[in-house]
Amino acid sequence: MYSFNTKKYFSVPCLFFFSGANRLLFAIALLLAINSNAQDSLPKNYFINPLDIPVTLAGTFGEIRSDHYHTGIDMRTEGREGLVVHAVASGYVSRIVVSPYGYGNALYITHPNGYISLYGHLSKFNRKITNYVKSKQYADEKYTQDIALAAGQFNVEQGDTIAFSGSSGGADGPHLHFEIRNARNDDPINPLLAGYKVVDNLAPKIKGIALYPLNDSSTINNKHEALYIKAEKVNNRYLLAADSNINAYGSIGIAISCFDMADSIENRNGPYIKVLKDNGDTIYYTRMNVLDFSTIHFINGHIDYAAMHNRIDTLEYSFLQDNDKLRIYKKLVNKGRIYCRTKKNHTMEYFISDFNGNTSTLAFTIQGDIKKAKVYKDTAKFLAVASWDKPFSYSSGGMKIQIPAGALFNNMHFRYSLDTTSSNTAISPVYHIQDANTPLSANYTLMLKPNPYLPDSLLKKAVIVRLEGKSKVSVGGKWDNGYLVTHPRIFGKFMIAIDLYRPVIKPVNVFKDKDMSKDTVMAFDVTDNLSGVGYFKGTIDGKWILMESDSKKNWIYYTFDDHVAKGPHHLRLVVSDEVGNTTVYETDFTR
């Protein structure tokens, strides 16, 4: 299976044979490209490897993730946690983050040459930083932290042990998430530009392409719909599957599905450079050198979002939508769109390269059609036209929507309907807002009104949920003027739901009067049915203790330390969900 959002972190040897014919040419092209564009580069050999093992990658810079671009590299850690993490250059710790989500335990180091290095998913920090963070957690009585620090407090020399690798936060498995950012504007830069050597002699693999009609009169093989074609490797080159003739009329766009692999590593990573040529002329050229956080969600408009959302394939467009603020384009002709208006053939060729210059090619021909343009109008009923470059708002009955300018990728025929027939519409109807296959680059505001006769006691427990198949996914919601208000970055089916159930606390290794003198942690499995766990607090003998949260395992746990002496104790754990339903677990134990 082609992996979508999930990246895997094992090491399984696998052998592929490849042609090195294009490698030299691409290496030269790459060198020229980098030298001609100084702001996309990094000083060479200034930063050392943060790990004591050679760099192998479980994820590359700029690869496509669910709803965002990956802004660093994922360094493999042999499937283990606890590897020493070194400061890649001298500087000072400028930010410490502790969170059950995102980068988990993370450190930022600011270097005097104008860059910041970031180390994510750490299992723990070094002893000095750990003691500092812990005293702050006890002082605040708060587990999550986001601490900004000035120079002088934790200065580091290149090579110092700053932390240990792990899988904290949103990591799918043990690895080190490593970023280098420009300190001036916070833009993440491809760390491989710093000169890290990665053993990778395998060219990227090409799975297939898709072709899309881009205006009302375009056709592909006489149809006004997308055409998906698989690729196959023949004598070291990729070709389209046999008998895949392509005739096209009008303006069309192409997308490619591809991934990179490295020697002895089974991870499917994002390639570095993608080039598309039309009769020998480069019409599209991207390379993943620099991103910025204001545009990382523009990935949603640069892929076949419907194919990704429905888990069909990850197809990256080689053309631009109307709204595109990405800075990954080195060359673009006519926004990558191809015009087929005469019988002229278009000989198309893709060049897909990894950072080492290993390149795969895919060639195919599009035959231009001559014919009278038939215009394919969107005849399905719609309520309004939402322009991508203007704010859009619409209200009807108990629903209001506000989409900011620039959140859509193209002008959109806005569609909305009410479903009052579903089984659980006692609280509110189901609101069909556009459809889940329409991408967004930014959040919009959604306001829903509940049925008017609901008592306040129930309204207090309300959240907006998105219906995904049979499941309800909470998207939160705060009351404002009789509306429940939330800010999703996805369209689809929404309704108001009431969370009446308290979180469930299941002790993992505790029971009444247990002798815990040999245990290192005290852990609880904590889940909630709908709105999610929002707050927790653990006390022993009435005093706050540092309980940590592992969002992947659903664990809340305390690691025994000198806050608990030998002898009998009383533990109290309070957990609330996002709407305030609260569960308390209490027990006696000895230490």
Binding site for Zn ion (CB under 5 A): 74, 177
Task: Supply the minimum distance, in Å, between the C-beta of residue 274 and Zn ion.
Answer: 21
Task: Supply the minimum distance, in Å, between the C-beta of residue 72 and Zn ion.
Answer: 5
CB of 116 or CB of 240, closer to Zn ion: 116
CB of 177 or CB of 472, closer to Zn ion: 177
Handedness of CA 535, 106, 177, 314 (dihedral sign): positive
CB of 168 or CB of 219, closer to Zn ion: 168
Task: Supply the minimum distance, in Å, between the C-beta of residue 63 and Zn ion.
Answer: 9
CB of 74 or CB of 304, closer to Zn ion: 74
CB of 278 or CB of 292, closer to Zn ion: 292
Can you say whether residue 88 is alpha, beta or left, with left for phi > 0 and alpha for psi between -120 and 50 degrees?
alpha
- What's the CA gap between 327 and 312, in Å, rounded? 27
Strand, coil or helix: what is 128?
helix
Task: Supply the minimum distance, in Å, between the C-beta of residue 199 and Zn ion.
Answer: 20
Task: Supply the minimum distance, in Å, between the C-beta of residue 75 and Zn ion.
Answer: 9
- What's the CA gap between 503 and 491, in Å, rounded? 28
CB of 175 or CB of 309, closer to Zn ion: 175
| Degrees, nearest 5: CA angle 389-391-395 | 140
Task: Supply the minimum distance, in Å, between the C-beta of residue 170 and Zn ion.
Answer: 9
From the number of C-beta atoms within 10 Å of its C-beta (0-12, 13-18, 19+), residue 377 rates as: exposed
CB of 169 or CB of 538, closer to Zn ion: 169
CB of 177 or CB of 205, closer to Zn ion: 177
The residue at minimum Cβ distance from Zn ion is: 177
Q: Which of 532, 464, 471 is CA-nearest to residue 498?
A: 464
- What's the CA gap between 546 and 135, in Å, rounded? 10
- What's the CA gap between 80 and 173, in Å, rounded? 9
Long-range CB contact pairs, 515-518, < 8 A, 24+? 515/589, 515/590, 516/560, 516/589, 516/590, 516/591, 517/566, 517/590, 517/591
Strands (E), 381-444: 384-386, 392-396, 399-403, 412-414, 416-419, 430-433
CB of 58 or CB of 210, closer to Zn ion: 58
End-to-end CA distance of the chain: 49
Residue with tokens 């389209």: 240
Q: Which of 438, 422, 439 is CA-nearest to residue 430?
A: 422
Task: Supply the minimum distance, in Å, between the C-beta of residue 177 and Zn ion.
Answer: 4
CB of 171 or CB of 523, closer to Zn ion: 171
Two structure tokens written together for 53: 């093992």
AA identity, residue 157 = E
Two structure tokens written together for 108: 């930022």
Neighbouring C-alpha atoms within 13 Å toward the C-beta of 50: 32
Task: Supply the minimum distance, in Å, between the C-beta of residue 259 and Zn ion.
Answer: 16
CB of 103 or CB of 558, closer to Zn ion: 103
Q: Are strands 188-189 and 175-182 parallel, antiparallel or unpaired?
A: antiparallel
Cβ-count burial 36-45 (b if 16+ within 10 Å, e if not): eeeebbbeee
CB of 177 or CB of 297, closer to Zn ion: 177
Task: Supply the minimum distance, in Å, between the C-beta of residue 61 and Zn ion.
Answer: 9
Please enumerate in sequence order all residues whose Cβ is within 8 A of that of 231, keeping only pairs 6 or more positions apart, or say none.
206, 207, 208, 209, 238, 239, 240, 241, 362
Within a 10 A sphere around the Cβ of 12, how many other Cβ atoms? Answer: 9
CB of 86 or CB of 177, closer to Zn ion: 177
Two structure tokens written together for 253: 């766009």
Task: Supply the minimum distance, in Å, between the C-beta of residue 57 and Zn ion.
Answer: 10
| Degrees, nearest 5: CA angle 279-280-286 | 110
Two structure tokens written together for 356: 């080492």
